[in-house]
Structure 1
Amino acid sequence: MKDRNFNTMGIFKKDKLQIINFQSYGSANRLYVRGRAIEDENIDLDQKGIFNLMQNTWKRFETDEIRNTAIKITLSNGKSVQGTTDDDGYYLIDEDINGLHDLANDEGWVNFELSFTDTNLKREILLKNKFPGEMLIPSEHAKFGVISDIDDTILHTGVVSSLKWKVIINTMFKRATKRRQLDGASDFYMKLHHGKTGDEANPIFYVSHSPWNLYRYLQLFLKTNNFPKGPLLLRSMASFRMRKKNDEKPQKQREISNLLKSYPDLPFILIGDSGEKDGDIYQEISTLFPGRIKAIYLRSVNDAKRMARIENLFVDFKDIPFLMVNKTKEAIAHAKDHGFI
């Protein structure tokens, strides 16, 4: 049974409501916003101790969603857009709105405010029902975008370990602020973000198979380790339970395809690891979107069988610059040689 706070009379006290915004991406005329409405579980990401870390992990996945409720997005110019959460508390608002570019800062971020509009909730709401949100519009100075995996690409995870035990242990027993990045990764990404001229503001998109429940955890890891700020695109827990159709593409591939379709004039660099299916996905993406991929970087993993498969997969891959990355300095040198940084 879920832990609850009790008042002095022993009656259950309900948690306050909140709206979480997942940093997303749009364009000068497209508002594309995602997030989730859930009860506040009072998760402290700075807590120490095994018990507290395990409790936080439980709270991340044992969420109480606010289902099928009305919400509103209010832009800084006063315009507003209505939306509704689904059965799992998620919302996706995809609207055509002119003039969004005028609301963006120098890096391309558009700030807005989210709020509940359902007067029947009759529940205490955090932050006076004013929740911050933001969405990225790539800068007009951007020369390319970067789409990067997270696990074992920039974050030591252990996705190739037997039964994924390292993933479970790392997530449950390590604070986000104590997780290690792969050596030099944030420096490489900052160089890609600034580009060859130093002021390109090339957008960075982080795509992972991890569930949205880990959004704040991963967001804190990226911030703590000085990675460029960028949309973090994850998946719902429900998708883990759903049986995939034979012709259905992986979630990561669908997210990448959506990005390339959203920015038809922007080429992309793809970064992943050799442990899972990144190589297969990136090859297919380069075929489906000819001329759009500038380079592919795959991190080496400590698994001889998987490495041999990737090397064989790319043996005849000649049209797009490709590098198997053992150390980040190799990727930096390669990017300099090709004029990316």
Structure 2
Amino acid sequence: MITSSLDEVFLSLALQDISMFRRKPLRINSYLSYGTPSHFRALGRALEFRNVEFINDLNQWRTLINIYKQFESDEIRNTELLLKLSNGLKFSTKTDKEGYYVFDRDIEKLHELADNQGWVKYVASFDDDSSPIIKNNIFEGEMIIPSSKANYGIISDIDDTILHTGVASFMKWRLIRNTFFRNFDKRMPLEGTSQFYKKLQLGTLKEPLNPFFYISNSPWNLYDYLTAFLKRHYFPKGPILLRDFRNPFERKPKVKLPHKEREIINLLRIYPDLKFVLIGDSGEKDADIYTKIAKQFPDRILAIYVRSVNHAKRFQRIQSIVDNFKTTPMLQVKTSEEAEEHARNIGLIL
């Protein structure tokens, strides 16, 4: 059933592309990023625009076409881009062979450009805007600078931690069904997660200053889909750190650390004075990665919460880790209320 539907979509879209020899408009998808009061970091991807809109009430067919377009999108390789800050400073960067750009630069007094939530806005554009396929050559991006008043930062997984995906299901069939056939507005967060996250963002403060960072093993192709989901359910705004899927023909060396571990360690090093709360689930290797990091940075991790995915063997394995881990407060939970009560008891929230 799924295979048949996929074949129909692929054929339909292939015929559309064959019949349209004109090039599609170009766009820059700027991802939310993070930096410091004196370090500007911007990242995103230059792509051909395939008219993907994440709107409510799409049926399964339109949802499948949307997701297909996200994965089939054509990158704009080795092209010059311009980045402009609100104070007029301009910088140039270049996309790589997969269309991604990553820009890192020390800039004095960068924090003066941030709003009251710590977000620094910038504009990305193509260097040559004279091309007829470049329209509205202004693409907004943002980077967060965590407040010096923050109690701590929160790093949360997405899949089966706040969004039920079925990543632990047999042959990942539920993951495929949920991702490809259900529009973002048909997906519901796990009960109580949004409310709990808002309380963590507040911590013991009267302002939502504790920064959020979301990590997932999903590919960057799903960035817009996940962003739409988080916004719809009022999750705290924060960078979504996804990964680039390798194809079997790539020659670049494999990274030494798993994606989640690498991203968390990078955050710990960029913000040496900020402690963190780690949230994940029992469906993947979150507990193993989080405890390994807590041992490596024993004074930096305030708590670890692992949501159970209702799998008996995994529950027992994770509970064994929890029972034997003494470095950091750690809890396996079935509900957000359990995590919230624990966080309140150890002074993370009011």
Counterparts in 2 of 1:148-297, with a 5 A limit?
Answer: 148-199=156-207, 201-238=209-246, 248-297=256-305
State the distance in 1 between where 2:196 and 2:262 align.
Answer: 26
Structure 2 unaligned residues grouped into runs of 5+: 1-12
Question: Which whole-Å CA distance do the structure 2 matches of 1:251 and 1:258 have between them?
Answer: 11
Q: Aligned residue for 1:36?
A: 45
**TM-superposition CA deviations, 1:177-224 (whole Å, max 9, x none):** 121100010000000001112225100000000000000000000000
**Is the CA contact 1:16–1:39 (under 8 Å) kept in the aligned structure 2?**
yes
Structure 2 SS opposite 1:237? coil
Matched, 1:107 2:117: yes
1:245 Cα deviation (Å)? 7.6
Relative distance call for 1:247 and 1:38 in structure 2 (3 A) is closer
> Partners of 2:255 and 2:201 in 1: how far apart?
35
Checking the alignment, whether the CA contact within 8 Å between 1:141 and 1:199 is kept in structure 2 is no
Deviation at 1:266, TM superposition (A): 0.2
Letter in 2 for 1:282: Y
Other-structure match for 1:65: 75
1:285-327 deviation per Cα after TM superposition (whole angstroms, max 9, x unaligned): 1112120000000001121111111112232212311111111
Pair 318,107 (structure 1): closer, same or farther in 2 beyond 3 Å: same
CA contact (8 A) 1:206 1:233 kept: yes
Question: Is 1:2 matched with 2:14?
Answer: yes
What TM-score results when the alignment is normalised by the length of structure 1?
A: 0.94
- TM-score, length-scaled by structure 2: 0.91
Q: Give SS of 1:238's match.
A: coil
Q: Deviations over 1:25-69 (max 9, x none)?
A: 001111111100000010122262222111111101001100000
CA 1:292–1:241 in 2, change beyond 3 Å: closer, same or farther? farther
- What is the identity percentage for the equivalent residue pairs of Structure 1 and Structure 2? 49
Shift of the 231–247 alpha-carbon distance from structure 1 to 2, 3 Å rule, reads: closer
1:84 aligns with: 94
1:55-111 Cα deviation digits (max 9, x unpaired): 111101001100000101100000011110000000100111111100000110000
Amino acid at match of 1:32: R
Tell me which moved more, 151-160 or 38-47: 38-47
CA contact (8 A) 1:5 1:13 kept: no
Task: Decide whether the 8 Å contact of 1:273 with 1:301 is kept in 2.
Answer: yes
Q: Is 1:95 the counterpart of 2:105 in the alignment?
A: yes
Which 4+ residue blocks in structure 1 deviate beyond 4 angstroms? 3-6, 239-247
Is the 1:139–1:200 Cα contact (8 Å) retained in structure 2? Answer: no
SS in structure 1 of the partner of residue 246 of structure 2: helix
In structure 2, the residue matched to 1:137 is 145
The answer on whether the counterparts of 1:286 and 1:292 sit within 8 Å (CA) in structure 2 is yes
**5+ unaligned residues in a row in structure 1: which ranges?**
none
Match of 1:125?
134
Contact 1:141 1:200 (8 Å CA) reproduced: no
Residue 234 of structure 1 aligns with an amino acid whose one-letter code is L
Relative distance call for 1:23 and 1:283 in structure 2 (3 A) is same
Whether the 8 Å contact between 2:295 and 2:327 is mirrored in structure 1 is no
Report if the CA contact (8 A) 2:153-2:212 is conserved: yes
How many residues align? The count is: 336
Cα 1:50–1:11 change in 2 (3 A) is closer
> Please, what is the CA RMSD of the aligned residues?
2.0
Alpha-carbon offset, residue 237 of structure 1:
2.2
Matched-pair contact (CA < 8 Å) for 1:143–1:200: no
C-alpha contact 2:298 2:328 (8 A) present in aligned 1: no
Q: Could you say if the C-alpha distance between residues 267 and 242 of structure 1 is closer, same or farther in structure 2, counting changes exceeding 3 Å?
A: farther
